[in-house]
Structure 1
Amino acid sequence: MQDTKVVRQISAMDGRERERLRQFVRSPYFNRHAATSKLLDFILKELGKTKPKLEEARAQDAVKGTGTDQKLNDLLSGLMKLINRFFAVEQLQSEAFREEVLTLKRTKELHRYKLLDNRGKRLDTKVAKHKFRDADTHLAAYEWKNINGYLQGETNRTDTREMQAMLNHLDRFYLVEKLRHACQLTANMMMLSTHYELLFLEPILAYLDSEDGQNLLKSGKEPSIDAYYHILMSLREPDDKSYYERMLYYLDDGFEYLPLRHQKDIYIFASNYCIARVRKEPEYLKELMNLYRRVLQNGIIYEKDEISEYDYKNIVTLGSATGEFDWTERFIEENRERLPAPKRDNAYALNKARFLYSLGRLDEAAQLLVTVTDSDVVYHLARVILEVRIAYDQQDQEYTLNLLETFRLYVRRNRKMSTKDKRSYINYTRFTKSLVNLKHQKDFMARSAYTKKLAALHTTVEETELVVERNWLLTESKE
């Protein structure tokens, strides 16, 4: 029973969500089967223990005395249906306008037109006062105007205001969603060589580039449309920096005009823009650093007060690379407890070791790496690569070569890595072994021969398609 869908779903809930589920299942409107409530009580009680005992026999005993002859599987199936309905109700309450719209639809079906008019005016007021002009806002307004416009048309066909409002909200809903998806899928096509038919996108961009479209964007009344338009154009025309600068506006002065999910999109696309520009313009490293400072200050980098291990790593790496050592060390320590609990110790130890390595404190970095566990492939790969760097810098040829050979065997035998990743890491071990041996032989061969072999290695690394740590290898093989 431990692996049933019901138990997995409830296990993923926090304490407050479990209590809301208990109240939901006990409500006679949604559930009148006492055995189902008893089964949920049993599951919740066991999941509250350090070592839950969720055997089927114990569950069956828990529902005795409820007057049911249903089998346990039937009760679990019924409970799962209630959990699904509970999720729907929870989601309904989390969406700003959904409950009002559904109320209006039901009121229309019941022909209660006086109540419909009253509730509709309340929704109009709520939409007008709502701080965001995102897709959800326009969709809610469109659905109400769709109801009311046709009702009013039955008595006065010459009054076009409601129907025109309906069309305006529908168009703006479509523009926000079309541009949002176009941004995501354009980035996907650029990174993964995929292809999507983005029907109507070119006419939309032609309209937004026209006088009417520019007036819409510059009016300040549709910030979500404006934000996604500039994200998309930064992908299509990266050399025009005005699009990126407008994205920055929505991380500063225009921050409060976008809902959280749109703010996060702005941050992700702006940071990716900086990363893509770094190769051509290294000064974008500092731009990226300033961007991270912004999102740390306004808080959108955090998800439920947690920072992802990847953002944590990127900030530590960038702070070290740009020489922001004091700031980076404060960031490492201040955000340690904000890392996801299951990965916290590994993420902290690995990134603190990387930081110490950047300061040249090799022994301290090596000692910290010992605490990184290898339960996760990603952490194992990162730990060994840093160990190799430390041993290489300490000119310990034998230990470096031993690490590389053990690492090569680990990669070759690993079943969780893709063929592409395996090739990248095996190429890394091969090139690094050549580099270590060549550096060791430097004092024992003619200068011209050494230079020639080093240049050949540099060229090979440069021309090889799949290799991790390419920049480090190129730097070390450059005479």
Structure 2
Amino acid sequence: MKTLQKSKLARQLSRLNTKNQQQFLLFVSSPYFNTHQLTADLATYLLGPPCCNWGTTTKQDISRALFRDKVYNESKINALMTKLMALLRRFVLHHQLEESPLAKELTLKNMLGYSMHDWFAQEYQKISETQAERQQKINEQQIHWLDDLEREIPSELLLENIQLTTQTYFKNSLEYACTLVQIAQTTQTTIDTKVVIRIHDQLTNQWPELLKIPVIKLYYYNLKVIWGQEREAAYQQLKQVFYDHTDQWEERDLFNAYRSIINFCVRKTNTGDKYFQRETLRIYQFIIQKKHILKNGQIKQVTYNNVISLACLEKEFAWAKEFAEDFKRFLAPEVQKNAYFFNSMNILYHEKDYSSSLGIMQKVNFTSVQYQAKTKIIQLKIYYELAEWMLLDAALNSFRLFLLRTKKSGLHSDQLLVFIRFLRQLAKIRERKAIVSDTKYLRLLVALKDKITASSKTTFDQRWLMLKINEQGAFLGTI
């Protein structure tokens, strides 16, 4: 009868040393990796004491050991051996992965996937200390593979493999560096900048040719935008790489790039740079056109709101309405209707169709304090535009009480309270317009403008307040 000596299973098991065989037995016995008891029994029979002699053992011996007096069924034994071979492959992969830098990289990626940002930052600091050693190990590993495979595989393919591994290393390293800087900036914690500098310098000094690879360039300029010097120049380069190769990126790369691009534009817009307000909308429109705005088939509610608000500020109302209508179906079902009503109200307000905006306002459900606050702000502005002073005064009082009650809700309550105070003062000045001289009216407006500018407290939507003051002064031809 045929023995197991020349079977594929026996040949592979024989390549394990005694320690590895015992580790494999523990692996197979673990219910996490294997829930099939007969496969575990087969492993124990072949590797456990007393040691099995594969030169004399047959499949019939296995059948008698595992199935006792049952009729021999070779198909059943073959199936068990195939299952054990599959487990051996998993064991080899798992055993190698535990000892490799790749395991740490995958762990970091999963930490980000589960939003474990604090843990990520802590673990990344540990791994980053050995970046140079890791690169050296990769190089040594590739040389070892070259020695083993050069007789069987063309050298061109091996060279390509080395380049691919190096490219993956730098892409992951740059991505982690970007994430580390972003977490540090968001949480306002100190990072070891030597880590980021080392990754940057290693690429530019030792592997500059990799900067010709689009995905490496993407993360290289991404890092410079969020952390490095000359950020505006780096922004233009990042945007160009993103535009030129946008159809090549994986979803994660796309998200990382356009998040940095948009965040940069928003920061510039907040400094009063109107060019970047329009630039932000153009980038969103490009991403929407390329169908990259969706993640897992959905659009985030905050993104949906931001895009429409930007389009309104740029007075692209027809496009805003089309986007709101076309993309509402990609919102999560539980927020779909409410987000659509809120943004329809917002568009109508910016179009100065105040009565229609107030009509839709009744349909907005206050599912969060953020929605409630934003809706109330639009209501205040509409009452101001319509010169409904009594309604405005009541709404201001109501909103102030709301902010005091929800002070710990995450709203910028202090900024909004300052906004309420200045809007109330502006409304009172406008109410007096008919009973004071033009000179005094102008003096009151200028005094309020100076007060807002000199305020030590940040004012919500200060730009809108200044615009309204300037509009009043413009009626007199003086501001």
2:209 to 210, 215, 232: 215
Partner in structure 1 of residue 9 of structure 2? none
Q: TM-score normalised to the size of structure 1?
A: 0.63
Once the two structures are superposed, the pairs formed by residues 270-419 of structure 1 within 5 Å of their partners are 270-278=261-269, 279=271, 281-414=273-406, 416-418=408-410
1:380–1:281 Cα change, 3 Å: closer
Cα distance, 1:409 vs structure 2: 0.6
Q: Which amino acid aligns with 1:194?
A: T
1:148–1:242 Cα change, 3 Å: closer
Contact 1:350 1:383 in 2 (8 A): yes
Contact 2:278 2:314 in 1 (8 A): yes
Asked if 1:105 is matched to 2:93, the reply is yes
Rounded Cα–Cα distance in structure 2 between residues aligned with 1:306 and 1:151: 43
1:314–1:417 Cα change, 3 Å: same
Rounded Cα–Cα distance in structure 1 between residues aligned with 2:423 and 2:189: 33
1:414–1:168 Cα change, 3 Å: same
SS in structure 2 at match of 1:372: coil
Partner in structure 2 of residue 45 of structure 1? none
User: What do the CA deviations read for 1:59-96 (whole angstroms, capped 9, x no partner)?
Assistant: xxxxxxxxxxxxxxxxxxxxxxxxxxxxxxxxxxxxxx
Please, which runs of 5 or more residues in structure 1 have no aligned partner? 1-26, 33-98, 110-140
1:200 to 190, 195, 199: 195
Q: Which amino acid aligns with 1:328?
A: A
Q: Which amino acid aligns with 2:301?
A: E
Rounded Cα–Cα distance in structure 2 between residues aligned with 1:31 and 1:430: 71
Rounded Cα–Cα distance in structure 2 between residues aligned with 1:282 and 1:458: 21
Cα distance, 1:464 vs structure 2: 3.8
Rounded Cα–Cα distance in structure 2 between residues aligned with 1:314 and 1:260: 21
Q: Which amino acid aligns with 1:377?
A: V
Which segment drifts farther, 399-408 or 247-256?
Answer: 247-256
Cα distance, 1:225 vs structure 2: 2.2
Contact 2:167 2:210 in 1 (8 A): no
Please, which runs of 5 or more residues in structure 2 have no aligned partner? 1-31, 38-86, 98-134, 474-479
Rounded Cα–Cα distance in structure 1 between residues aligned with 2:142 and 2:197: 33
Partner in structure 2 of residue 437 of structure 1? 428
Contact 2:346 2:378 in 1 (8 A): yes
1:433–1:192 Cα change, 3 Å: farther
Q: Which amino acid aligns with 2:217?
A: D
Cα distance, 1:416 vs structure 2: 4.4
User: What do the CA deviations read for 1:364-411 (whole angstroms, capped 9, x no partner)?
Assistant: 000001111123111000110011111111100000010010111111
1:148–1:321 Cα change, 3 Å: closer
1:192–1:447 Cα change, 3 Å: farther
Cα distance, 1:191 vs structure 2: 5.5
1:237–1:154 Cα change, 3 Å: closer
1:213–1:453 Cα change, 3 Å: farther
Report sequence identity in percent.
Answer: 18
Partner in structure 2 of residue 53 of structure 1? none
Partner in structure 1 of residue 257 of structure 2? 266
Cα distance, 1:151 vs structure 2: 7.8
SS in structure 1 at match of 2:244: coil
Partner in structure 2 of residue 179 of structure 1? 174
Q: Which amino acid aligns with 1:450?
A: Y
| Pairwise CA RMSD | 3.9
User: What do the CA deviations read for 1:24-70 (whole angstroms, capped 9, x no partner)?
Assistant: xxx995489xxxxxxxxxxxxxxxxxxxxxxxxxxxxxxxxxxxxxx
Cα distance, 1:256 vs structure 2: 3.2
1:324–1:151 Cα change, 3 Å: closer
1:466 to 458, 461, 472: 458
Partner in structure 1 of residue 445 of structure 2? 454
